[in-house]
Amino acid sequence: MRAHFVIGGVPVRLDPSLPILVAVFGFFAILQSGDPHATAKFLLLFPLVIGAILGHELGHAFAGRAFGLAPFVILHALGGVTVFPPRAIRALSFGRRIVVTLAGPGVGLVLGAGVLLALVYGGLEPRTLGREMIELSVYVTLGWSLLNLIPILPLDGGHVVAIVLERAFGEAGMRAARVASIVLSLAAGASLWLLFGDPLFAIFGGLLAFSNYRAHRHERTARDEAPLRAATDRATAALAEGDLAGARRLVEPVLADDPGGETRTRALHVLAWAALEEGDLESARRRLAELPPRVRPDAYLEGRVRLRSGEASGAIGPLLEALEDRREPEVADALARALVEAGRVDELRALLESPARARDLGAEPLRRVARGVEGDAPALGAALSEALFARFADPRDALDAAVARARSDDPSGARAWIDRAVEAGVDDAALRARPELAALREGRLESAVEAER
């Protein structure tokens, strides 16, 4: 998952569901209220709510980074989540896990306290836009933080309880925290509905209870499938070492137990890779077809299978996706083969026309693809090297374009790109190192001498 922006080294992604929810709430609660400041309050609601949730999640994120974790923040309609590598967060000490958990609401409490002081001592007149926005800020910061301290999962207070119970009773403690969260969610939602007469409290409590029920089932499945996952891990390691028969022996009993979810997906991937490496293309395709519904196969595997099946055009998309994810030489080489066999480079040129995608991927993987294409299809390779030079302005790409033009029997184009390469900083030694340019280089020097005369 790609970040939309980075704050203090923490990647952050804003899911569209959050601004949509803010807009819906603002429309009904503010724009329909007849408030003279309704429009301004509606517009200010977006940075206020999103900023408060972001501050909360960054509290978790920065605390985790202080302990060596690599967080990723996602802001969504239910508030937000700070994702840490599961093994890394569980490897933290008891005290550090508590600190990371409480850092989020801690930021909100500090911000809320400051806003509350501004409300009390700021001297703002009642019914002014400034005072009303500060009052709303108190609810958004302090209210959100206090809500998160309720001891119900997945709220932060619930996570603190779960960490304590897990430390005391192991996995049984986590199960107890889930069951308690289900009961408390339903009880709290029903009680608040009866107390205030608003069924939204019951709906919210029901959603929390359902969330915990699903998580409880997922965790139980994960515990039951732990031995199968271990066998799949060993099969993956055997596959990486080239022991195809060993990988199959380890993973076939896993599928016989009919696991679900990720375990089944990984087992099928191992068998598909083993079949592909053995040249059994039909078995590889069959294993991919057995993947659970709505599960995408590994992009590199899918691209390789399509390429071996003679579907070069269909392989380009998955291989390009794999290159963006992995940036590995073998992926670049497979993509180059697909582009050559398909006889087009449109998708890669489109990527280079996107500054963000090209910057994220970097020049080196793309340069390897261009050179791989140039080896078999010089004209296509020239087009890619020229597009690379247009995006990154690297002299090596101009030199590659000149070589590709020379190899594709385009001397005038090659001379033009020699000139551009020299203008970009390519020296005479680099030109001499490319034998394809020798005759063109001599002609260029002779033309320069004649021009001086």
Query: What is the chain's pLDDT, residue by residue, as a tens digit (453 residues)?
Result: 677 899 999 999 999 999 998 899 888 888 877 788 888 988 999 999 999 999 999 999 999 999 999 999 999 987 889 999 888 888 899 999 999 999 999 999 999 999 999 888 887 788 788 888 898 899 899 988 998 999 999 899 999 999 999 999 988 999 999 999 999 999 999 998 999 888 888 998 998 899 899 988 888 877 877 888 889 889 999 999 999 999 999 999 988 887 767 888 999 999 999 999 999 999 999 999 999 888 889 999 999 999 999 999 999 999 999 999 989 999 999 999 999 999 999 999 999 999 989 998 999 999 999 999 999 999 999 999 999 999 999 999 999 999 999 999 898 999 999 999 999 999 888 888 888 887 776 555 444 323 333
Going through 86-163 in order, the beta strands assigned E by DSSP cover none
Across the beta sheet with 10-14, the strand order is 5-7, 10-14, 72-75, 81-83
Cis peptide before 292 (omega within 30 of 0): no
- Closest to 76 measured CA to CA, from 56, 62, 98: 56
CB-CB contact of 252 with 238 (8 Å): no
CB-CB contact of 399 with 433 (8 Å): no
Per-residue pLDDT, 448: 35
CB-CB contact of 262 with 254 (8 Å): no
CB-CB contact of 227 with 186 (8 Å): no
Q: Which helix (H) or strand (E) holds 58?
A: helix 38-66
The residues that bridge with 5 in the sheet, in sequence order, are: 12
Give the predicted TM-score (pTM) of the model.
Answer: 0.60
- Rounded Cα distance between 167 and 153, Å, is 16
Side chain identity at 308, as an amino acid letter? R
- Closest to 105 measured CA to CA, from 149, 62, 72: 149
